[in-house]
Amino acid sequence: MDSPDFQFAHAALPIDRRAWPVGGRLDYWHAADGWAIRRYRLGDGARGRMLVLGGRGDMIEKYLEVVHYWVMRGWAVTSFDWRGQGGSGRLTDDPLCGHINDFADYITDLKGIAEEWRKEGHGPTAMVAHSMGGHMLVRALAEGMPPPDAAVAVAPMLGLHSAPLPRWLAVAIARVMVARGHGKKRAWTQKEHSERLRRLRQKRLTHDPDRYADELWWRDHSREIALGPPSWNWVLQALESTRALAEGEAVAQIATPLLILATSADQLVSTPVIRRVAARIAGAHLHVYGPEAAHEILRELDPVRLDALRRIDAFLDENAR
């Protein structure tokens, strides 16, 4: 039998990040209201089954590298695009506006997809979620979603980094904009082809310019999956949902083994809130990186990315078996 180090090295071999892995299945799962959610499945799952949840504005293509990695580790991996982004349609006439009416719609979709996912095989189950996906995972568990054997939240959106505005002012502005009928409009402008803005965005997301360039390549070659800023209603929903989750009693009832990876340098989500929420979950294990990691820990330079994968693998080996 190969050693764990050999298996890790083999699974972590570079792949073509701008191509779909061979053997995957890309289709649509339909929600109870008929909405088509784009879904991707890869691997047979001798190790178990994994559900991977992306963040706001993400698409399946951004995480093909880690999907392939966990398939090589023996997991059957399912991922999908959240309602209103990626290949799962739009909720406004603006194809670049990331809108949602209610975060509860995301939770309903997650519970429905997860219910079908659980029926697709046997063995250990795990959910790995990034950013907004991490919020949805923790919220769904707090609201009683049947849990996996183990869960991982990477830079979870448990609180928003609203600086330079204080949080109360961000909430007030969002409420005013929604009340004035701007709920479905972009909360800010974004110049798609500005190199300066792209460099600033890259620094907020990852220190790896090549992996960031992969995202731009997918966006430029498949414009239907590209997304820009969120709507004002999305911003308001995010501010209200994160506050309710962080301050409510339900989060303390989560019993699922939970690994949380975060970074003190995060400019998008609030690391202090992550620390406070993690402290309230009995089964939570928290690791916080320093300035070597930006928001997209699983798409960072290899020293951080591979360290994160090792931590996740060790956690899953202990708790999902």
pLDDT in tens, 156-177: 999 999 888 999 999 999 999 9
d(CA 208, CA 175): 36
Question: Do 268 and 238 touch, CB atoms closer than 8 A?
Answer: no
Average pLDDT for the chain: 96
The residues, any chain, with a CB within 8 Å of residue 61's CB and separated by 6 or more, are 215, 218, 222, 225
- DSSP assignment of 276-292: HHHHH-TTEEEEEE-TT
pLDDT in tens, 28-43: 999 999 999 999 999 9
Complete domains list, the chain, with CATH: 4-319 (3.40.50.1820)
- DSSP assignment of 195-217: HHHHHHHHHHH-S-HHHHHHHHH
pLDDT in tens, 5-14: 877 877 788 8
Helix, strand or coil for residue 65?
A: helix
Per-residue pLDDT of the chain (321 residues; tens, 9 = 90+): 577 787 787 778 889 999 999 999 999 999 999 999 999 999 999 999 999 999 999 999 999 999 999 999 999 999 999 999 999 999 999 999 999 999 999 999 999 999 999 999 889 999 999 999 999 999 999 999 999 999 999 999 999 998 889 999 999 999 999 999 999 999 998 776 788 889 999 999 999 999 999 999 999 999 999 999 999 999 999 999 999 999 999 999 999 999 999 999 999 999 999 999 999 999 999 999 999 999 999 999 999 999 999 999 999 999 999
